[in-house]
Amino acid sequence: MRVLSGIQPTGRFHWGNYFGAIQQYIALQDEDEVYYFIANLHALTTVRDPKELRELTFDAAIDLLALGLDPNRATLYVQSDVPEVSELCWLLMTGAPMGLLERCHAYKDKKARGLRADTGLFAYPVLMAADILAYDADAVPVGEDQVQHIEVCRDLAGSFNHHYGTVFVLPKAVVLENAARVPGTDGEKMSKSYNNTLALFEDPKIQRKQIMRIQTDSRPIEEPKEPAGDVLFDLYSLFADDSEREAMASLYRRGGFGYGEIKKQLADAAEQFFRDARQRRVELAAKPDLVREILGDGATTARKKAGMVLRRAQEACGIR
Ligand code: ADP
Ligand code: TRP
C-alpha cells in the first residue's frame, strides 16, 4: 500500500493538527511506501509574506521530524520541489467541473462570509488531487475536514480514466475512527483562524499561562460536574491513558475540586507528552543543513515517481 498526505505550513502546528492529523501520518509510516509533504503551494492561497512562508515551511519540516516522522521510512518533501505536480494539476483542471469545485467547503465558506476568493482557493482541491494522483497513492490519512477533497480527487481521477483509459489509481481517505475534534481555548474547534490554539512547541511557561486562562464555568467547587464535553476534560483526555481518563472523570463526578487543579494537571500532561519531541526539535533546529538534505532527498524520490505518472497522463491525453 502507498500512503500519502500533506499539511499546509500556514501557522505553527497546534494540538488539533497533531491529534487530528499528524499523529495518524506518523502511525502509518510503517506501511509499504509513505510520502509526506509540506503543502506550501496550497499555503500560498493564504500566506502572502514570502519570508513568513519560507520560515513556516522549514519549521513544519522540523516539527514533523521532531514528532517522529522518520525520513528512512517515509519520503518527506516540500510540495513545490516537485513541479510535475503543478503540471498534472493543469491536466486535471481542464476536466474539473465548476459545479464540483463550487461545492467544496474552503471556497464555499469564504464566499458565504462575503470574502474575496481567488482562483487558487477555488482550484485548491484540484491541486490536492494532483498531489495524490501523482504518486499512485492508495491511502490518504487526513482530518475529517479533508474527506470531501479526497472525494473530489476520486471524481476527477475517475472521469479522467473514463475518458482517456486507466491512468490514475483511485485513493481512499483514511480517517482515524476516534480522530479527536480538538477544542480550542474557547471551546470552539481549535483552529488558527479562531485564535484559540495551543501550539505544539510553545514555551512551556507561556503554554501554562494560556491553559490557566481557559474559560470555565463558575459552579461552586463542591458541585459534581459532567466530564463529557468539558473543554478541560476533553483536552486532558488527549494525553491520558484509559485509567488516567477514568480517574479524571470520577473526580469530575465527585465534585469538590477547583478547575485550577485540572488546568495544572493538563499543563503537566501536555508538557510531559511532548517533552522528547521538544528536545529533538531543539537538536534539529541546530542542524538546518541536515533538514535541507532530508528534504532534498525526499524531493528527488518524489520527482522520480511523479515524473512517471505525469508522462502516463500526458501520453493518455495527447500532449506527448
Ligand atoms: P487550522 O484549522 O488551524 O487552519 P488546518 O486546516 O491547517 O488547521 O489543519 C490541518 C490538519 O489538521 C487537517 O487535516 C485538520 O483536519 C487537522 N485539524 C486542524 N484542527 C483540528 C482540530 N481542532 N481537531 C482535529 N483536527 C484538526
Ligand atoms: N488540504 C490539506 C489540509 O489543509 C493539505 C493537503 C494538500 C493534502 N494536499 C494534500 C492532504 C494531499 C492530503 C493529500 O490539511
CATH of the domain at 226: 1.10.240.10
In DSSP terms, 139 is beta-bridged to: 3, 172
**Average pLDDT across the chain, whole number:** 94
- Residue 217: burial class (beta carbons within 10 Å; 0-12, 13-18, 19+): exposed
143 and 28 in a single domain? The answer is yes
- What one-letter code names the amino acid at 47? V
Does 155 lie in the same domain as 17? yes
pLDDT at 86: 98
Shared domain for 263 and 313, answered yes or no, is no
Tens of pLDDT, residue by residue over 109-145, are 888 988 888 999 999 999 999 999 999 999 999 988 8
The pLDDT score that the predictor gives to residue 197 is 97
Residues 228 and 162 in one domain: no
Taking the centre of ligand 1 as the mean of its atom positions, its distance from the CA of residue 142, in whole angstroms, is: 9
The answer to whether residue 81 scores a pLDDT higher than 90 is yes
154 plus 17 within the same structural domain: yes
What atom of ligand 2 comes closest to residue 149's alpha carbon?
A: 1
Centre of ligand 2 from the C-alpha of residue 64, in Å: 15
The band of 178, judged by pLDDT with boundaries at 50, 70 and 90, is: low
* Mean pLDDT confidence for 254-263: 91
* pLDDT > 80? residue 180: no
The finding on whether 146 has its CB within 6 A of some atom of ligand 2 is: yes
- Residue-level pLDDT at 132: 98
Mutate which of 19, 191, 237 to test ligand 1's pocket (most atoms within 8 Å of Cβ)?
191
Position 282 in a domain: no
**Whole-number pLDDT of residue 218:** 77
**Nearest listed ligand to the Cα of residue 124:** 2
Q: Is residue 154 part of a domain?
A: yes
Q: What is the pTM of this model?
A: 0.95
For ligand 2, whether the C-beta of 142 sits within 6 Å is yes
Do 51 and 163 fall into the same domain?
yes
Does residue 48 sit in the same domain as residue 83?
yes
Label residue 60 exposed, middle or buried (CB < 10 Å: 0-12, 13-18, 19+).
buried
Q: Is residue 281 part of a domain?
A: no
34: domain CATH number is 3.40.50.620
- Residue 193: per-residue pLDDT: 87
Atom number of ligand 1 nearest to Cα 184: 23
Percent over 90 (pLDDT), the chain: 84
- State how many domains the chain has: 2
15 alpha carbon, closest ligand? 1
Q: What is the DSSP-derived secondary structure letter of residue 194?
A: G
Atom number, ligand 2, closest to the C-alpha of residue 143: 15
- One domain, residues 96 and 220: no
Q: Which atom of ligand 1 is nearest to the CA of 14?
A: 3
Strand pairing report for 75-78 and 139-141: unpaired
Q: How confident is the model over 79-92, as a mean pLDDT?
A: 98
Asked, for residue 189, whether it belongs to a domain, the answer is no
- Percentage of the residues of the chain whose pLDDT score is greater than 70: 99
- Decide if 188 is inside a domain: no
Task: Return the SS3 of 185.
Answer: coil
Residues 103 and 135 in one domain: yes
* Whether residue 123 is found in the same domain as residue 242: no
Identify whether 100 is part of a domain.
yes
45 CA → ligand 2 middle, Å: 13
Clarify whether 189 is annotated catalytic: yes
Domain that residue 64 falls in: 2-181+287-317
Task: List all residues 6 or more positions away from 145 whose beta carbon is below 8 Å from its beta carbon.
Answer: 105
Q: How far is the CA of 174 from the centre of ligand 1 (A)?
A: 15
Same domain, 45 and 174: yes
Task: Evaluate whether residue 190 is within a structural domain.
Answer: no
Tell me, yes or no, whether 161 and 254 share the same domain.
no
